[in-house]
Amino acid sequence: MSQQPGRHSRRVTERYDVIIIGTGAGGGTLAHTLASSGKKILLLERGDYLPREMDNWDPKPVFVEGKYITKDTWYDSAGKPFQPQVHYFVGGATKMYGAALYRLRPEDFGELKHVDGVSPAWPLSYAEFEPWYTKAEWLYQVHGAHGEDPTEGSWSRQYPWPAVSHEPRIQQLSNDLAAAGYHPFHAPCGILLDEARRPASTCIRCATCDGYPCLVHAKSDAEVIAVRPILVRPNVTLLTGAEVLRLETDGAGRSVTGVVTARDGGEETYQGDIVALCAGASNSAKILLRSATDQHPDGLANGSGQVGRNYMYHNSRAMVALGKERNDTVFQKTLAINDFYLPGNGREWPLGNIQMLGKSNAEAMRGEEPKLTKLAPQWSLEEVAKHAVDLWLTTEDVPQPGNRVTVDRDGNVRLSYTQCNTAEADDLYKEVRTMLNHVGMAAHHILDKNYYMKMNVPIAGCAHQAGTCRFGTDPASSVLDLDCKAHELDNLYVVDTSFFPSIGAVNPALTAMANAIRVGEHLTGRLG
Ligand SMILES: Cc1cc2nc3c(=O)[nH]c(=O)nc-3n(C[C@H](O)[C@H](O)[C@H](O)COP(=O)(O)OP(=O)(O)OC[C@H]3O[C@@H](n4cnc5c(N)ncnc54)[C@H](O)[C@@H]3O)c2cc1C
C-alpha cells in the first residue's frame, strides 16, 4: 500500500493488551465484556459519533437522502457500482437498527434442508449457546415474553423487561390471528422503556426506531449500552476516525504485530497482544484479504480459501397490507409470528419469520421505492400510509461459496451474490396473504378488495450481512476455531457477524452480541 507524499507514517510505541477494530454489535459488546478485566484496551473505529440532531428523526434525510449511509462505493459481480447500506459510526449498524433482538431457533443450530441447499449445522448447539443469549438480553435491556412463541428454544432466565405492549390496531391483529389458530407473540425489543413508570424512561415510543438513529439515546444500541459506559475507565481508549487498512504479521505469519490505520491524514500502526477484528462481515473480510503476505498469499488467515465466502444477508421482503381501518399505530414493531418458520403442517421447507416494520410514512415510501412513487402525489402516499400495516418477511439464505466478498485492485469491495430460496420467500408471502385475508385484515377501503404491496431487498441492502469468516472445527473448511480465533494465527480473533456458519431467518444482532460476550469471557481467561 503506497503512502501519499507528505503524509505521516508512524509506529505507535504504546502497547495494548487488546485492540478491537470496530465498535458495533460485535466489537462494542466485546469491549464491554473485557473492560472490567482492567486490561489495556484500544478501540479503533472508522467512523465518528453519530451527530444528535433533528435530522435523526426526519424520514427525508434518513430515507430519501441517505444521510447516515456511507459514501463508499462497492461493486457487484458484473462490476456495477452501488452504495451499500452500511453505517460507520461508534455503535456501527446498531445506531440505525430496529433493535429487534431475536435468538436463533434451536433448529438453526442444526442442519436444515432448504429448497436451494442446506443450511449447515453450527459447531455449537443451541443449549451450549443459551447462557450467552441470556447475558446479551440482560445487557441490552430486551423487552419480551419467553414462552409465547412455540418455536423458541429453552431459556434460563426471563427477559429483563416485560414485552412492549401492542397499540390498539396491533392488539386487534394479534387477537384476530390467535382466534384464527395462529401463534402471534410479542417481538423482543431492545429499547429503554419503562411502561409502568413512563416518565422515568428515556424512550418516548416514537415511530422512528427502525432504520433511524435515536435522538434521545433510548435505543439499546452498541454505543449507548456497550461503548459509552466503559469510556470512563482508564484502561479503555477509543479512537474515532481510525480506519484500519490492513494487519501486519511476524516473519512466520503466526502473529499479528501491527494494525495499520489511516488517521488524521496519515498512517499509524498500533500494537497489541490480541487483535479482534469486528468491522462487520464485509469489511472484516476486506481487511483480511488486503493483508496478504508471503505466508498468507491469498489473504490473512485464508489458507482454507473461505475468507469472504458464504456471504449471507437473508432473502427479505417488506410488505404493506392496506386495510379498511386506519392504522394509527406509532410504535409498530411489537408483534411477530413464526408459524411458518419450520417445515411441517404439509410444508416441505422452512419459510421464515414474520415481524412488523416501523410504521411507514410517505417520505420513507419515496426513499425505499423512488421509481414507483416518483409520480405519486404526496396526498396519495399519505393516505396509503394511514391505512398501511407494515410487515417484514425474512427467509433464510443458505451459505454458498460463490456468494462472496473480494477486493479489487483499488481496494474496493466487490460483492458477488446470487439470491436463493426465492421459492420459499414466495411461499411465505402467499402464506401471509392467506393469513391476513383469513382475519379480514386487508379489505381495502377504496378498492374493496384485498390489497398488498411488497418490496424485495436489493444487494445494497446489506443490513443483515454475515458469514464471511465462518467458525468451525476443521481448518480446511472454516476460518475461525470455536473461540473465533483464526485457525492460522495465535492472536487474531474475528468477533462480528462474520463467524455465522448459517444465518437462520431472524435478525442477527443478538447472536453477534451473545457471541461477543462468549469470546470476551474466553479472552478474559486467556489474558489471566
Ligand atoms: C437499518 C438497519 C436495521 C437493522 N435492524 C436490525 C434489527 O432490528 N435487529 C437485528 O438483530 N439486526 C438488525 N440490523 C442488523 C444489525 O445492526 C447488524 O447485524 C449488526 O450490527 C452487525 O454487527 P457487526 O458487529 O457485525 O457489525 P457493525 O455493527 O456494523 O459494526 C462494524 C463496525 O466496524 C466499523 N468499521 C468498519 N470498517 C472499519 C475499518 N476498516 N476500521 C475501523 N472500523 C471499521 C464500523 O464503523 C462499525 O462501527 C439492522 C441493520 C440496519 C442497517
Find out whether the beta carbon of 100 lies less than 6 Å from any atom of ligand 1. Answer: yes
User: Which residue, by CA, sits nearest to atom 47 of ligand 1?
Assistant: 88
What is the per-residue pLDDT for 363? 79
Find out whether the beta carbon of 358 lies less than 6 Å from any atom of ligand 1. Answer: no
Find out whether the beta carbon of 93 lies less than 6 Å from any atom of ligand 1. Answer: yes
- Ligand 1: residue of 464, 468, 503 to mutate (most ligand atoms within 8 A of CB) is 464
SS3 221: coil
Q: Which residues contact 12 (CB under 8 A, 6 or more apart)?
A: 268, 269, 270, 271
What is the per-residue pLDDT for 323? 81
Find out whether the beta carbon of 23 lies less than 6 Å from any atom of ligand 1. Answer: yes
Find out whether the beta carbon of 62 lies less than 6 Å from any atom of ligand 1. Answer: no
Atom number, ligand 1, closest to the C-alpha of residue 94: 17
Task: Decide if 96 contacts 212 (C-beta within 8 A).
Answer: yes
User: Which residue, by CA, sits nearest to atom 27 of ligand 1?
Assistant: 280
Find out whether the beta carbon of 283 lies less than 6 Å from any atom of ligand 1. Answer: yes
> pLDDT (tens digit, 0 to 9) for every residue of the chain, 528 residues total?
445 555 899 999 999 999 999 999 999 999 999 999 999 999 999 999 999 999 999 999 998 899 999 999 999 999 999 999 999 999 999 999 999 999 999 999 999 999 999 999 999 999 999 999 999 999 999 999 999 999 999 999 999 999 999 999 999 999 999 999 999 999 999 999 999 876 666 898 988 889 999 999 999 999 999 999 999 999 999 999 999 999 999 999 999 999 999 999 999 999 999 999 999 999 999 999 999 999 999 999 999 999 999 999 999 999 988 888 889 999 999 999 999 999 998 999 999 999 999 888 887 777 777 777 777 888 788 888 888 899 999 999 999 999 999 999 999 999 999 999 999 999 999 999 999 988 887 655 444 455 677 788 899 999 999 999 999 999 999 999 999 999 999 999 999 999 999 999 999 999 999 999 999 999 999 999
Find out whether the beta carbon of 504 lies less than 6 Å from any atom of ligand 1. Answer: no
Cell reading at 425 = 420467500
CA 415 – ligand 1 centroid, Å = 17
User: Which residue, by CA, sits nearest to atom 4 of ligand 1?
Assistant: 97
Atom number, ligand 1, closest to the C-alpha of residue 88: 47
Atom number, ligand 1, closest to the C-alpha of residue 510: 11
Find out whether the beta carbon of 394 lies less than 6 Å from any atom of ligand 1. Answer: no
CA 205 – ligand 1 centroid, Å = 23
d(CA 392, CA 358): 9
CA 294 – ligand 1 centroid, Å = 32
Smallest CA-to-CA distance from 31 within 309, 236, 321 is with 236
Atom number, ligand 1, closest to the C-alpha of residue 90: 49
Find out whether the beta carbon of 279 lies less than 6 Å from any atom of ligand 1. Answer: yes
The rounded radius of gyration (Å) of the Cα atoms in the chain is: 23
CA 49 – ligand 1 centroid, Å = 14
pTM to 2 decimals? 0.96
d(CA 372, CA 389): 19
CA 92 – ligand 1 centroid, Å = 5
Residue 234 has a CB neighbour count (10 Å cut-off) of: 7
Find out whether the beta carbon of 96 lies less than 6 Å from any atom of ligand 1. Answer: yes
Cell reading at 142 = 430486551
Residue 183 has a CB neighbour count (10 Å cut-off) of: 14
Find out whether the beta carbon of 225 lies less than 6 Å from any atom of ligand 1. Answer: no
What is the per-residue pLDDT for 454? 79
